[in-house]
Amino acid sequence: MTDGLVAARSDLPAALRGRRDPFAPLHENPLAALLRDPRHPGSASAAVPTGGAPLPVTRYADGRDRVNLGTGNYLGLAGDRRVVESATEALRRYGTSASGSRVLNGTTRLHLQLEEELADLYGTEAAVLTSSGVNANVALLSTICTPDDVLLVDAHVHASLHAAAAASRGQVVRWSHNDLESLASRLQQLDPRAGAVVVVDGVYSMTGELAPLREITDLCARHGARLVVDEAHGLGVLGDGGRGAGEELGVLDDVDAVTIALSKSLASVGGAIMTTRAAADGIRAAAMPYVFSAANDPASVAAALTAVRIMRAEPERISRLQDNCALLRRVLTDAGARPIEGRGAVVAVPTGSDEATGAAWRTAFDNGVYTNAVAYPAVPRGRGVLRLTVMATHNEAQLRAAGELVAAAVRAAQGEHGDGVDDRRSVA
């Protein structure tokens, strides 16, 4: 193709010939090409089909059982009999789909009950249920701010928050990851009349790092800024009640809105926003992901509702998960593969180059451990990780064996590809 023109391509409709192909970025995406080639070392990031529920030992499509360190099923509830039975009962009663948005025919009693219980869990006036965690962030950030206001977004927040901020009418200003001086400087430079919203992850999804929320809430109070915290990876993991980094660090009451994903600890699919009643009403009236998207299917709502109740009734699951996370970190460190410092259920082991990351993933996978390989562009070049995620239902033997296998895989891959990782503090 010359200068992006499509004149020479006979497979295109006649009307397109002579024009640049607007689909070219899709056709020529190097990451897509990587994922299409299962022989490439980086193919670790391709989806691997499973043959069962995401349990501590999961059966994969090749028929092999592996220790599963690559799922967000943090509390181990995705295969819990009570959660499965509640989803099954909702399926029988309400059918497979709500078949309409919440503002039309898509609201059931289950939707209202889940919103009430999530609001009660977080101590807020209201909660708004959305069809995904991504949509929770888009629904919130796209409906706040005027063009004269500013969203101050940590540079390493989840991709959905970056997309959501871009959908806002406000100006988007990024600040250096977890850098309080960077945030303070940007707050000081704002027009004193401008509305300001600081946006962070409570637990960063690629590294398990926590946001310094105590200091951030102090800065917000000093500068009159609102604070939004995504607790997708904190819910069910941190805090005595499992409410995330805000609870763990004692600042939950200083957060103006919390967003979550139901697909991690709550063993379902969907998202939610916990905030004031007035803000919730505004979201319901104006947010595209709420007004124009089909409501969560009743079975997934019932599953999440039961999972919330189990989490609150069985806090020992949270403490067991925290103990398991600490154990895996110790095993990896003792075996020569010290993970990035963090306190969430995400344990990130630095690998280095894309080639080393892919090779480490493949060795661990072949030896019976499933992980997530994270390479460029999800992280900077040369800063890849194996991302391990822990469940409350893993046992000590599984974590010790898996941790040692992963560490051996990482050491071997780095030796083969000549990689070393100097800065283990942050990769995202």
pLDDT, tens digit (0-9, with 9 covering 90-100), for 389-421: 999 999 999 999 999 999 999 999 998 886 555
CA atoms within 13 A on the CB side of 258: 32
Query: How many angstroms separate the CA atoms of 427 and 14, rounded?
Result: 46
Give me the mean pLDDT over the 138-147 stretch.
97
Q: What does pLDDT average to over the chain?
A: 91
CATH architecture of 34-77+317-417: Alpha-Beta Complex (3.90)
Per-residue pLDDT, 49: 83
Per-residue pLDDT, 144: 97
Per-residue pLDDT, 32: 66
pLDDT class of 256 with cuts at 50, 70, 90: very high
Per-residue pLDDT, 379: 79
Whether the CB-CB separation of 128 and 283 falls below 8 Å is answered with yes
Domain with CATH 3.40.640.10 in the chain: 81-313
Q: Is the domain covering 81-313 a CATH 3.40.640.10 domain?
A: yes
Query: How many angstroms separate the CA atoms of 180 and 196, rounded?
Result: 16
For residue 30, CA distances in Å to 26, 149, 312 come to 9, 37, 45
Of residues 14 and 174, the one with the higher pLDDT is 174
Closest by alpha carbon to 57, among 45, 43, 46, 71? Answer: 71
Whether the CB-CB separation of 297 and 106 falls below 8 Å is answered with no
Packing angle, helices 133-141 and 159-167, rounded to 10:
30
Tell me the pairing of strands 171-175 and 346-352.
unpaired
Phi, psi (5° rounding) for residue 369?
A: -130, 125
DSSP string for residues in 38-107? TTSGGGGGS---BSS---SEEEBTTS-EEEE-S---TTS-TT-HHHHHHHHHHHHHH-S---SBTTTT--
Phi, psi (5° rounding) for residue 201?
A: -90, 140
Q: pLDDT exceeding 70 applies to what percent of the chain?
A: 89
Of residues 289 and 378, the one with the higher pLDDT is 289
pLDDT class of 244 with cuts at 50, 70, 90: very high
Structure tokens at 167: 């959908």
pLDDT class of 31 with cuts at 50, 70, 90: low
Domain with CATH 3.90.1150.10 in the chain: 34-77+317-417
Give me the mean pLDDT over the 296-322 stretch.
98
Within 10 Å of residue 315's Cβ, how many Cβ atoms?
13
